[in-house]
Each structure stands twice: as structure tokens, then as C-alpha cells.
Chains A and B, each alone.
Chain A
Amino acid sequence: MPQGRPVKRAYPALLLPGAAVYLGFFFLPLAGLFRESFRQFTPGGVGSAANAPFTLANYSELLTPSFAEFFLETMRISLLASLTGLLFAFPLAYWLARRLSPGWRATAVGFFVTLMFLSVLVRTYALELTLGAAGPLRPILLGVGIFPNGRGYIELLVAGGLLHYIVPMATLTLLATIQNVDPRLFDAAQNLGAPGWKAHLTITLPLCARGLLAAFLFSFTFSISAFVIPMILGKGRVLFISNLIYNRFSEVADYPSGAAISIVLFAVALTIVYVTSRQLHRRSMP
């Protein structure tokens, strides 16, 4: 490089298009939503009036045990589906990475990608028709004492619907992680006398921790914001926060209340992501 000539750094300019998209389609609408959440709603109107006063009522009405229950139910079912999804996805991803030939691995990856392109609506209705109260499994369910219109079964059905989407997504995420782990480390552990399960616990899992976290966060954030799956499989009895938000915006046109719920959900989700990431970061530091 010739001496005395400064190197032009084009990096900030390269960020501009992405920043513009984020500003226009994420931050500004979020700011609008945040502002709307403090406006007063007059029933009968559509959203808040142009000169509506500011109020904290939209947030104070969320401080009820019943509303907390909606959040807890959303979190509980999402957590259940996400963790179960990881339990299925990790062995699947490991098998894909270690046991399949490159050709078959490519076919399997293609299969999972195709699964993800299938319409969520189609898959959800397929589950509803097969596992629902009027489906072909009804006699079997009743035979083993499961009431298909019972609340517990409906919650399981919603979790199952989420799982249907989570497993392919988590598998593909973990596949790359596992492929980056040197298989010779596992072999070395076994050569030193460690049984297979211990080698996995002490070598494979810790080295895949970041990938597991990424897969968990993808799955969890997908689950807590799921709308179609709880709407169809939940039978109107298992409601996620997204369903409440939809009701506010689309059915009763109470935009301020819908905005308040959205902001709370956003804050809770961000907090969970931050805390989980920070915990993992601390544990991975020497």
C-alpha cells in the first residue's frame, strides 16, 4: 500500500440501506405504537381520536391477575414447546451431521427446508382435523381416557402445533453448530475412558451451547408471538397474547389497549432474551 494515503472506509455507508429499512419499518412504527399505547380510547371509535388525551389506563388495566395468567399461559406453553423442540431437534441434527453421507444430508436438509416453506395454516388445519375432537383419533383418545375437548388436551395440541414448526427450524440451526464441533474431541474423550453419554455431556453439549441457545431463542420467540396456531388449535379457549392483541386491533378497534399489550410483550420477550444470553455468556467465560 502506498505510504501516506489514507484507506477509505466504506463500512458506515454499507450500513445505510439496512439502517434505513430498520428505521422505516421497525423503529418508527414501534415508536408510533408506543405513543398510541398512552392515548385514551373512546368506545365506538376506531383507534384513538386525533386529539385524545394521554393516559396510563391502558397499562394499569393490565395489572390484573387474569392478564398475568394470559402471559403465564403463553410463556408456559411456549417454553414447553421450545424445550421439547430442542429435545427432538438436537439428536436429529446430530444424526444428520454425523451419520449421514453428504448426499443424504443434503436431501434431508432439503426436506426440512421444504417443511418450513409449507403453509402454517395448512399444517395447523391438518393437525386440527387429525387430532381434533372430530378427527379419526377420537375413539382412540376416548378409549384411553383422554377427552379431546378437555383443556389439558387442547394445550397439548397447541404445543404440538408449535412443535411442528419448531423442530425443522431448530434442527437446521443446530446442524451448523454440530458440524463446527470437531468430532475428534468426542473420540478423544472416549479413548480416555469416558462413556458415550458422558462424552456428549462434557464435550458435545458445552461446545454446542451457543447453538442451543440460538435455537431455543428462535423457537421461543416464534412461539410467544404465534397467532394462527393458538387461534385454530386453541379452540378459542387457549389464548395467546397475540390473540388478545388481534382482538384489540381488529375486532374492537381499541388500538391503545392493543398497543399497550404489544409493548409489554415486546419488553418481556427482550428481557428473556437478554437474561438468557447473559447467563450463557457468564457461564462460558473462564
Chain B
Amino acid sequence: MTQLTRRHTLKGAAAIGAVTIIGDTLGSTRRAAAATEITAVEWGGDVVNAMKQIEAKQNQVKVNWVLHQGGSGAILPKIKASWPHPEYDYVSGWEGSFNGMVKEDWLVPVSVETVPNLADIPQKIIVKNAKGEWAAVPRAIGGIYCAYRKDTSPVEVKSLDDLFDTRLKGKICWPGPTQAMMLPLVALALHAGGNEHNMDPGWALMKKLAQSGNIGRIGVTDTDFSTSLTSGETSVGFYSEPQLTAVAKSFPVVRLTKQAGMPTFLYQSGFAILKNRPNLTATLAFVNHCISPEMSSLYAQVAGEAPLNVKAKTPEALKHLSFTPEEMNKYVYFPDFNEVLSQQDAWTKRWESEIAPLL
């Protein structure tokens, strides 16, 4: 009979340990070969839910999801702090944040060669850098417009003048100065005879609205808005699509996208792919997967932004963002985004000095 000695026991344990380590390493290598890991910054709520479902439909890339905290611009200081070694492979955003990233030269130019599904996206909407190269990949289109909860609003809002109705005391959730690119303020300017280049009429109307007592909450984050309307704290708002979609899932919401005198703004949401990251090929492949017709339709259904891929299906619930050419001319306003974006700092400071004290 073999005698079990301490030497035998130690040899056996070492052998088992070695087998385990080798096996685990091989397993990790296999797992790593199967899926490349990338880090992506996304919006929370239904948007990241949609993106997770899109991720699950492929197995080449595994995504570490990081959520935006605050407005789209909140991620920019984090990228700057770590530049030229950013921690993210792509950052979801829109015209506002794309512009900042393009100016800092952080973005990888994209093309039909690197992201083939861009061939099915209207080229006019694609953000370009100073060299005229495509700088971001659009995935969907959303709206910024006025809407109200039909079941709790004491007023059937049909015009911006209705916002001053005394029955709406404390019932309006208005976006704060860092939300929605202050386009609701541009809407007030348009209503009062101005525009994004002449904002004084808008500021005058905004002061009047602030003094009216009808603003119950100033939304400083996306969830502020959806929570405020969902909880019944407020009933009327001028905000962007995913938040209004979130409220409309549970409550009847009247969306004033095709109401005369109520301008609707359209924005694109999409992907900004950052330079100096090790997994560029995988990131481009994943982004290409996201804007395919099937995934664009899925995204539209879950996140509530209309697809930009011309081959994708627009859900019935988003028909309010589908415009004929005549409707586009009548209801949709396309501001000079260069002016809007360059004025964000000045408008924010003007809000703090002229509007905030009145609220």
C-alpha cells in the first residue's frame, strides 16, 4: 500500500493548482477571443435598456456600460481629464456634445468603409469635423417639443400662450439652462417674434413665465422631468423624446409636435467614437451593428427615438415624429446649431442672473 506522505500531498496539491491555473487561463483566453470588451457611455433608462438588448443580439463585443450623469456635456470634463488616454470607446450624444468633441479633435472619422450601415443614413444629418469628414454616427432622431399629461393637466394646451394660464400654477416642468440646449427658450423667442440670433423677446417671455408661478420644477436632469410628470407633481413640459416616451408608457400624453404655433425641434442622437483606444475595430463593428435596420427598429421600439436608417421600421407610437415635407416646413424649426451651441455659456449665465431669481 502506498503511504500517503506530506511530500505526496504537496505534490498532488501543486499539480491540481497548476492544472486549475492553466485551465482558467485557457478559458479566459477563449472567452476573450470570443468577445472583445469595450466601454461605452450611454443614457440611462430606456435608452440603455435598448442598447443592452442590441448588445445581446451579437456576441463579438461585450460592453461595459457607463451612464451619463447630467446633461450630455457632463462627460466632456471627464474625457478631457484623461486625454489623450480616454476611458471610453464610444460616447453617445447629440449635436451639442458632438460639437464640443469635434472642436477638441477627440473623434475618429467614420465612413461607409468603416461603418457600412452609414450608407442607409441620410448624409445631410451627419455631423462633420473641420476637414469635412464624418465625425459621428447618427442612430436615431428625437424631438424636443411641448407635451402635457391629458389626465392631470387642467388646461388643454394648444399654444405657448396657454402656459400662462393661471390654472397651471405650479404645473409646468421647464428644462433648466443646461438641458435640451435651451431650445425651449428659442421656442419662446420664435413665439415672440425673435429667433436664436435675437433672443431678447424669448428672454422677456421667459421672465414672464418665471414670474407667473406656473413653473413647479426646473428639470436639471432627464429623470427630473420624467419623475416630475410621472408622479403628478407637474403636468406640462417642453422636453425631449425619451423622457416623454417614458411618461407616455403609463399615462396619456398629448404631444404637440404638429400644433400650429408650437415649434418642434429635431435632434439626432448617435455615437461619437473616441481616438486612442485599443479596440477601435470592435467598436466600429458594434456601432455598425447598432444602426442596422433591425437594431434601429428595436432601438426605436424600446428607447422611443425614431430610427434614422431608411430601411428600419418606425413604430406606430413614434408617428408623431414622422413628418411629410409640408409638415416639416410648417411645424419643425431647424435652428442655427452653431449659434445655439456657441451661446450656451452666455445663455446659462443670463438664466442665472435674470430668470433664476424670479422662480
Contact = CB atoms under 8 A, between A and B. Distances in A.
Given A237-B359, A252-B178, A253-B77, A44 B341 contact: yes
B184 to A, nearest CB: 13
B170 A149 contact: yes
Interface in A224-255: 231, 235-237, 239, 243-244, 246-247, 249-255
B308 to A, nearest CB: 25
A150 interface: yes
B233 A43 contact: no
Contacts of B76: 46, 253
Interface string A237-280: 10100011011011111110100000000000000000000000
A85 interface: no
Nearest to A148: B170
Given A66-B357, A149-B233, A237 B345 contact: no
B165 to A, nearest CB: 15
Interface residues of A, number: 37
B177 A247 contact: yes
Contact of A236 (B71, B100, B169, B224): B224
A233 to B, nearest CB: 11
Contacts of A249: 77
Interface string B268-292: 0000000000000000000000000
A57 to B, nearest CB: 11
Contacts, number: 109
Contacts of A67: 352-353
Given A132-B233, A236-B219, A247-B177, A66 B100 contact: no
Contacts of A133: 170, 216-217, 233-234
B70 A45 contact: no
A149 B215 CA distance: 8
Given A43-B343, A253-B100, A235 B216 contact: yes
B112 interface: no
B77 A47 contact: yes
B297 interface: no
B282 to A, nearest CB: 26
Contacts of B161: none
Contacts of A236: 176, 217-220, 224, 359
Contact of B80 (A47, A69, A150, A246): A47
A252 B73 contact: yes
A46 B100 contact: yes
A254 B345 contact: yes
B215 A44 contact: no
Contacts of A66: 352-354, 356-357
B60 interface: no
Interface string B174-218: 001110000000000000000000000000000000000001111
Interface in B284-319: none
B18 interface: no
Contact of B353 (A46, A64, A132, A257): A64
A186 interface: no
B80 A250 contact: no
A46 B219 CA distance: 23
B100 A44 contact: yes
B346 interface: yes
Contacts of A252: 73, 178, 344-345, 348
B28 interface: no
Interface in A31-80: 41, 43-47, 61, 64, 66-67, 69-70
A250 B345 CA distance: 12
B346 A247 contact: no
A151 B348 contact: no
A239 B217 CA distance: 12
A23 interface: no
B119 interface: no
A43 B176 contact: no
A244 B80 contact: no
A147 interface: yes
B99 A251 contact: no
A116 B263 CA distance: 48
B103 interface: yes
A181 interface: no
Contacts of A244: 352
B290 to A, nearest CB: 26
Given A69-B357, A133-B170, A237-B359, 15 more contacts: A43-B342, A44-B100, A44-B103, A44-B342, A46-B77, A70-B356, A236-B359, A247-B178, A250-B71, A250-B77, A251-B70, A251-B71, A254-B345, A254-B348, A255-B77
27 contacts: A41-B345, A43-B344, A44-B341, A46-B77, A46-B103, A46-B104, A47-B77, A47-B80, A132-B231, A133-B217, A133-B234, A134-B232, A134-B233, A149-B217, A150-B170, A235-B216, A235-B217, A236-B219, A236-B224, A243-B220, A244-B352, A249-B77, A250-B73, A250-B77, A251-B348, A253-B76, A254-B348
Question: Sorted from nearest, which 3 A-B pairs have the closest CB atoms?
Answer: A236-B218, A149-B170, A251-B178
